[in-house]
Structure 1
Amino acid sequence: MDFDLQWLLLGLPLAFALGWLASRFDLVQWKREQKDSPKAYYKGLNLLLNEQHDKAIDSFIEAVQQDPDTSDLHFALGNLFRRRGEYERAVRVHEHLLKRADLPASERERAQHALAQDFMKAGLFDRAEEAFKALDGTVFDTEARLALLALHERSRDWRAAVEVAAKLERSGSGSFSTRIANYWCELALEADARQQTAEADAALQRAREAAPQAPRPLIMAGQRARARADHREALQQWGTLMAAHPAAFNLVAVDYADSAKALGEGPAALERLDALYRRGPTTDLLAALARLDEDATRQRRRVLSHLQHQPALSAAQSLLQLSAGTPLDDAESQALRDTVARAAKPLQRYRCAACAFEAQHYFWQCPGCLGWDTYPPQRQEDL
């Protein structure tokens, strides 16, 4: 059959016209989709700024449907789900991102970090740990290790915490020596609870090596020595603590006094504690001095002096106990009145039920949150 060139000449322009129309239709549709997607995105952003989270989520879902390849929209939607407490939906969004083969490495790391945060917020700590570990060597390395450190502390996995904290310190993320010392102290306590003395000794030594100036290892060393009736060793450890960390010494001041009495070294210890008390009077040192100086008159005089310079309820209680059966003189009565007035002052305030703003006077409109009738008509001490 002969082919008619006339039909070919007529068909070529027609095919060209149809192709051009189809391309124009696709181009118009693509432009419309590109135009609608930013509109939905900006609408969602505006709703988010106005704290309308539900409507913002709907708008971002619409934007994702119109432009499913834009990762930023997925991140915005996933973060919104997490903030709303919809962790399962947030996980699905970020897992969907991770499954995309065309996702750049930087975006993949970002999605992995977001997924780890989803698991963390949802309380799925084992899955969060795995997700954070997968970020090792990425730009989120430091953030992931800090999150892992928090996870290990929460689960009381102190050896894992030591390892992560050491990595953070080696990477230049700051000093973690004191925290590492605390982890080893916790391990020492656990070993003592299992009656594994050698392991506890080793852990405490590691704590002192990690932070030689930390007070807790010295405190624990003295406490462990006192527990085995080695009062000489306890005084030696706590004597070092007294010189290096006088503020932390308050935690064992009474135990120090008791160990000194057990060794018959009460007068020398009384002199040391009195000198420390004069430099920085505290109720703990006051109680320790009372253990070493049992003369009621001197104790009463010492407590009165403390109240006059540093009103404290525990000291006032000591004075009342020491004065049982004998009347208070004017100075003692005045010191007690001043102490009680100081302790009662914070309880004489009104507190807003909406924002907890406290004030000495009753407000019908809270100065803090500007709410009306948010103050209960009773002071704190009456609630």
Structure 2
Amino acid sequence: MDLDLTWLLWGLPIAFALGWVASRLDLRQWRIESRQTPKAYFRGLNHLLNEQQDQAIDAFIEAVQGDPDTAELHFALGNLFRRRGDYDRAVRVHEHLLGRADINRKDRDRAQHALALDFLKAGLLDRAEAALHKLEGSAFEGEALLALLAIYERSRDWRQAQAVAQRLEAAEQGSFTTRLAHYQCEEAELAQKNGDTALAQRLLGDAVQHAPQLPRGWMALSALKAQQGDATGALAALRQLAQQAPQGLPLAAHALAELAQKTGRQAEVLVLLQAAHERGPSLDVTEALARLSPDAESARARYLNHLEREPSLVVATQWLAGETLSDPRAQKQVQSALEQASNPLKRYRCAACGFEARQHFWLCPGCQSWDSYPARRVEEL
């Protein structure tokens, strides 16, 4: 059979023409779609930059409706819902992503992590915990463990918190030695409340062994020994604090003075407190030195010595309490006014969030940061 070249000569131009027309149609359709979807997407970004979250959400919803298969738009929309506090809608968006069979493993883990954050922000700790456990072995495992640690700390589940902190340290996610010692101190407090002093003493012994630089362990151990009637052992624990964690000595100054009087070792403790005072004046150390002074004049001399080194309304108020004004009738009013003005200066302040409190906290009740309270009063900061 002979090949008819006529059909070939006609067929090639026709095939070329049909291919060109098809490509132009596809290109035109692509241009139409690319003009429609990004317009809403970029409008949403513009609203975000202008901090107009409600308008940004509307724009992203429009973009998602135009292209429901776009995972990135779903992530952006879910994050916006969460930031706005609309946790139910954020959960639905991320659960929709998890229900899709066409997304890859990376995006699936990302959606699982976002869903866990939705539950966490909404305060649904049990559901957040379950969602975070599903991230084991993923690229989000480190972040999931940190979130689990925060959950266990908020729920005061110190055993679980300890296990997670040990996993994080083994994964080289940072040093958790001090935090682990805090957990042991928390467990020791619970053991004391339950009457198990032997367990409390063992836990505190482990805490000071693993984190001797943490004042809390020494202070708790001293308080336990004092409760058991062992004033000498309680004093020895605070002397260890002065050596191992001198930054925390102001927190223990009052207890040091009290134990010194109970054990008759005032001279020994005076030397220790005086050395701390020489390194840097402290309201609590000065108060302890004044308490251990043999008479009122010596105590007032301690206050004057502090004022010579560092101005202080708190110390000046304490010094003036021993003075007699030229008008005795004004004594009570003046002293009361000075005490009222100086009381706010005796508070402790969190260095992370600025939350102020009359007592010192190891864990800030405001921002949940550990060791964010300096051992010094507001006036000394």
**Structures share a fold, TM > 0.5?**
yes
Indicate how the Cα distance of structure 1 residues 28 and 202 shifts in structure 2: closer, same or farther if over 3 A, else same: same
- Structure 2 residue aligned with 1:146: 146
1:260-275 aligned at under 5 Å gives the runs 260-275=260-275
Which secondary structure state, in structure 2, belongs to the residue aligned with residue 101 of structure 1?
Answer: coil
Indicate how the Cα distance of structure 1 residues 281 and 34 shifts in structure 2: closer, same or farther if over 3 A, else same: closer
Contact 2:40 2:63 in 1 (8 A): yes
Contact 1:44 1:59 in 2 (8 A): yes
- Structure 2 residue aligned with 1:258: 258
- Alpha-carbon deviation of 1:39? 2.1
Please give the alpha-carbon distance, in whole angstroms, between the structure 2 residues aligned to 1:285 and 1:111. 54
Please give the alpha-carbon distance, in whole angstroms, between the structure 2 residues aligned to 1:33 and 1:269. 81
- Structure 2 residue aligned with 1:364: none
Please give the alpha-carbon distance, in whole angstroms, between the structure 2 residues aligned to 1:30 and 1:102. 22
Number of paired residues? Answer: 314
Deviation digits for residues 59-93 of structure 1 (CA, Å, limit 9, x no counterpart)? 21111111111100101111111111111111100
Deviation digits for residues 188-239 of structure 1 (CA, Å, limit 9, x no counterpart)? 0111011111221222133234323322211111111112221110111111
The structure number with the bigger radius of gyration is 1
Which secondary structure state, in structure 2, belongs to the residue aligned with residue 163 of structure 1?
Answer: helix
- Structure 2 residue aligned with 1:46: 46
- Give the letter aligned to residue 312 of structure 2: A
- Give the letter aligned to residue 94 of structure 1: H
- Alpha-carbon deviation of 1:142? 1.2
1:102-113 aligned at under 5 Å gives the runs 102-113=102-113
Please give the alpha-carbon distance, in whole angstroms, between the structure 1 residues aligned to 2:28 and 2:271. 93
Equivalent pairs: percent with the same residue? 51
- The gaps in structure 1 that reach 5 residues or longer are 1-20, 329-335, 348-383
- Give the letter aligned to residue 156 of structure 1: R
RMSD over aligned Cα, in angstroms?
Answer: 2.7
- Structure 1 residue aligned with 2:182: 182
- Alpha-carbon deviation of 1:251? 1.1
- Alpha-carbon deviation of 1:306? 1.1
Please give the alpha-carbon distance, in whole angstroms, between the structure 2 residues aligned to 1:56 and 1:275. 61
1:134-173 aligned at under 5 Å gives the runs 134-173=134-173
Contact 2:178 2:214 in 1 (8 A): yes
- Structure 2 residue aligned with 1:3: none
Please give the alpha-carbon distance, in whole angstroms, between the structure 1 residues aligned to 2:285 and 2:71. 62
- Structure 1 residue aligned with 2:62: 62
Contact 1:116 1:131 in 2 (8 A): yes
Which secondary structure state, in structure 2, belongs to the residue aligned with residue 173 of structure 1?
Answer: coil
Please give the alpha-carbon distance, in whole angstroms, between the structure 2 residues aligned to 1:113 and 1:199. 38
1:289-300 aligned at under 5 Å gives the runs 289-300=289-300
- TM-score, normalised with respect to structure 2: 0.76
- The gaps in structure 2 that reach 5 residues or longer are 1-20, 328-333, 346-381
- Alpha-carbon deviation of 1:31? 5.5
Please give the alpha-carbon distance, in whole angstroms, between the structure 2 residues aligned to 1:85 and 1:283. 44
- Give the letter aligned to residue 158 of structure 2: W
- Structure 2 residue aligned with 1:244: 244
- Alpha-carbon deviation of 1:168? 0.8
- Structure 1 residue aligned with 2:318: 318
Indicate how the Cα distance of structure 1 residues 264 and 54 shifts in structure 2: closer, same or farther if over 3 A, else same: closer
Contact 2:218 2:237 in 1 (8 A): yes
Please give the alpha-carbon distance, in whole angstroms, between the structure 2 residues aligned to 1:210 and 1:274. 29
- Structure 2 residue aligned with 1:333: none
- Alpha-carbon deviation of 1:130? 1.3
Indicate how the Cα distance of structure 1 residues 303 and 58 shifts in structure 2: closer, same or farther if over 3 A, else same: same
Please give the alpha-carbon distance, in whole angstroms, between the structure 2 residues aligned to 1:93 and 1:50. 24
Indicate how the Cα distance of structure 1 residues 209 and 274 shifts in structure 2: closer, same or farther if over 3 A, else same: closer
1:1-383 aligned at under 5 Å gives the runs 32-323=32-323, 325=324
- Alpha-carbon deviation of 1:25? 8.0
- Alpha-carbon deviation of 1:291? 2.3
Please give the alpha-carbon distance, in whole angstroms, between the structure 1 residues aligned to 2:236 and 2:104. 61
Contact 1:91 1:118 in 2 (8 A): yes
